[in-house]
Amino acid sequence: MNTENHSQTAAFLWSVADLLRGDFKQSQYGRIILPFTLLRRMECVLEPTKEAVLSAAAAHQTKPDAVREMLLLRAAGDLQFFNASPLTLATLSDTQTAADLMSYVQSFSSDAREIFEHFEFENFVQQLQNANLLYMVVQRFAATDLSPKHISNFGMGIIFEELIRKFAESSNETAGEHFTPRDIVHLTTSLVLTGQDEKLAPHKIVTIYDPTAGTGGFLSEGDEYIESMTRQVTVSLFGQELNPESYAICKADMLIKGKDVSQIKLGNTLSDDQLAGTKFDFMLSNPPFGVEWKKVKKQITREHKERGFNGRFGPGLPRVSDGSLLFLMHLVSKMRDPQEGGSRIGIILNGSPLFTGGAGSGESEIRRYLLQNDLVEAIIALPTDMFYNTGIATYIWILSNKKAAERQGKVQLIDASDQFAKMRKSLGSKRHYITEEQIDQIVRLFGDFAETPTSKIFPNDAFGYRRITVERPLRLNFQASPERLARVPEERMIEKMDDDARAQLMQALQTLDPAERYLSRPRFKKTLNKALKAHGIELRAPERRAILSALSEQDPDADICLVPSGKYKGDTEADTSLRDYENVPLGESVYEYFEREVKPHVPDAWIDEDKRDELDGEVGIVGFEIPFNRHFYVFEPPRPLEEIDRDLKACTDRIKQMIEELSA
């Protein structure tokens, strides 16, 4: 069955919305259609074992619930759930549909029952009954063939994808928060699992984890990928999801495929990690882009401060407006020790984690930690318009703490932004998809680890720099001109003086020669002190500074001001308005760089040696950024002027002709 048929099935299931219109809000359609679709799929999957389960249910009806459930699961064969009711959707009564339906749902095994609780299914069943729509809805789903013979698990995934997208559109929700397009899932999974023959050797047990599991796309794809390579590897799936409905679909999908769902958790991964302390072989994630973490700031900040590198967020915290790097650090904290085989991560991020935040910022410190610990294997730029809810540029980061020898100390950047095909019909913001051939090509580029026009390899330190603070001397002239004297009362410290003291001060200042301009601060101070003393005025240091500030202006011809007091008394005072910063490539001497790049242009400048990096104590704050696009930029020279002039003349000639035709 091809994708188009899956879309038709999804459209047919969504057409139930026509029955609901008027009695339910648009935002409620999905909350009815999704659980009924799940119920029908589960019913179809259970059909081959239905008789065996019913026989076992009759035989063990007096046993304790826990024992009975275990025995019925055994009767269900390879499946991880059962339904012990003789009812089906097709045989529900038309007179007591709600009671029969809830009895049918309550007859599922505990994990399956929980799925419907997260959809608040009973509540919606009652609403449908009250609107006299329940039996019609039940009959519509009962007539739809969702059996595995007719629709594979992969096909069912596409149908759920379509239904969730329609649900998101009808309720103004963000569809991309719930699932990742299948082509991106397939590409990311292929990148993470390629070249992992040692981990995927026969009889091994491997674990796959997704902290933003959504509807389980990454977990399913990882499992299917490994199964397609070998059936001799046992795969255990782990995940956590914040949205109850997405969690329910993920759990249902796992149950239908016969997977253990005990390690699929509901809750906020960042503030309540329900798999704390667990390490994994492979991790896959597509966290929401640019979503703020204000709601969980208290818990995360506490973990960062109290646990440091013993927690998940040791290197630093990004700005509250984007939590992407928190998910990345969360995954890094769950890497197995390299001695135990290490781990590989594939995470999809937008562009900001590459470069947001200057030296010393939380984002930069996170990048520094990742690169200096040699965890980043590759970053792949994807085409735009790949996701349902956004058309922005996105990137797949591949991380590993057990790199192949040739990759150690290096990062591979791959530009796959032109690897796409146009969709015949856009789905939300998704206008492009990546074909199987293009996925193979990208994975091959990654595997080859060679320099090509679209694959660049850099040492880790290539992305590092030291931000040095360049100071220049403060040069001021001083004058008691009417314009400058008018600024004195506006100074904050002078405003605090009482009216009489302020008036007396202004009277004293007006005795200064308004025409004389002082190029030396010490000389002006002496003159000022005489005027104040003559009027019997005593001022505190902050008030004197306020007067000097009001009566001064920058002047490149004035004498250099010296620090008047404190630790650096007598040193050249820096002009904060001329302060500048230079980024010196990591590994290069900041002094050699300064002499070569700065001194020739500003001979009186110097490096502020007090600005040192917290970690290594060297002059300059270390920063890391990955200017991805710069490394793939190809200069295109402008067209010759003669060609531009020719085009302009042709354009003006056309305009003239059109005007003449109008006036004729």
**C-alpha dihedral, 117 to 123 to 127 to 130, nearest 10°:** 120
How much is the pLDDT for 578? 95
pLDDT tens-digit readout, 146-205: 999 999 888 888 888 788 877 877 665 554 455 688 899 999 999 999 999 889 988 899
Q: Let me know: does 189 contact 218? Beta carbons within 8 Å.
A: yes
**Closest C-alpha among 329, 340, 354 to residue 199:** 340
Q: Which residue has the higher pLDDT, 338 or 27?
A: 338
Average pLDDT over residues 242-253: 88
Q: What is the mean pLDDT of the chain?
A: 92
Which amino acid appears at position 528 of this protein? L
Q: Which of 157-166, 247-256, 373-382, 519-528 has the lowest mean pLDDT?
A: 157-166
Site of tokens 């002078």: 494
Provide the pLDDT for residue 172. Answer: 54
Residue 1 has pLDDT above 50, yes or no: no
Cα(179)–Cα(177) distance, rounded to whole angstroms? 6
Residues contacting 433, CB < 8 A, separation 6+: 181, 183, 386, 420, 421, 423
**pLDDT tens digit sequence for 54-85:** 999 999 988 898 899 999 989 988 888 999 99
State the pLDDT at residue 45: 93
Is 122 buried (19+), middle (13-18) or exposed (0-12) by CB count in 10 A? middle
The answer to whether 82 and 73 are in contact (CB under 8 A) is yes
Find the range with the poorest average confidence among 106-110, 203-207, 564-568, 595-599. 564-568
Contact 290/324 with Cβ under 8 angstroms?
yes
Dihedral of CA atoms 516, 518, 523, 525 in degrees, nearest 10, equals 80
CA nearest to 317, candidates 488, 328, 159, 265: 328
Q: What is the pLDDT of residue 175?
A: 43
Helix (H, G, I), strand (E, B) or coil at 577: helix
- Amino acid 632 reads F
Question: Is residue 611's pLDDT more than 60?
Answer: yes
Note the residue count of the chain. 664
Q: What is the pLDDT of residue 555?
A: 96
Cα separation of 234 and 223, whole Å? 9
Distance, CA of 14 to CA of 37 (rounded, Å) = 10
Answer whether residue 245 shows pLDDT above 70: yes
Percent of the chain with pLDDT over 90: 74
Q: What are phi and psi of 223, to 5 degrees?
A: -65, -45
Distance CA 287, CA 332 (A): 14
**pLDDT at residue 664 is higher than 70:** no
Strand ranges for 460-579 from DSSP E: 464-471, 476-478, 552-554
pLDDT in tens, 517-557: 999 999 999 999 999 999 999 999 999 999 999 999 999 99
- For the chain, percent of residues with pLDDT exceeding 70: 98
Distance CA 246, CA 253 (A): 10
Structure tokens at 120: 């608040």
| Least confident piece of the model among 6-15, 132-141, 370-379 | 6-15
Helix (H) or strand (E) segment spanning residue 12: helix 3-14
60-64, 276-280, 302-306, 428-432: which range is least confident on average? Answer: 428-432
Please give the Cα distance from 279 to 294 (Å, whole number): 27
**pLDDT at position 178:** 52
Give pLDDT tens digits for 282-330.
Answer: 999 999 887 889 999 999 999 999 999 999 999 999 999 999 999 999 9
Confidence (pTM): 0.85
Query: How many CB atoms are located within 10 Å of the residue 640 CB?
Result: 9
pLDDT of residue 426: 79
412 token code pair: 């591979």
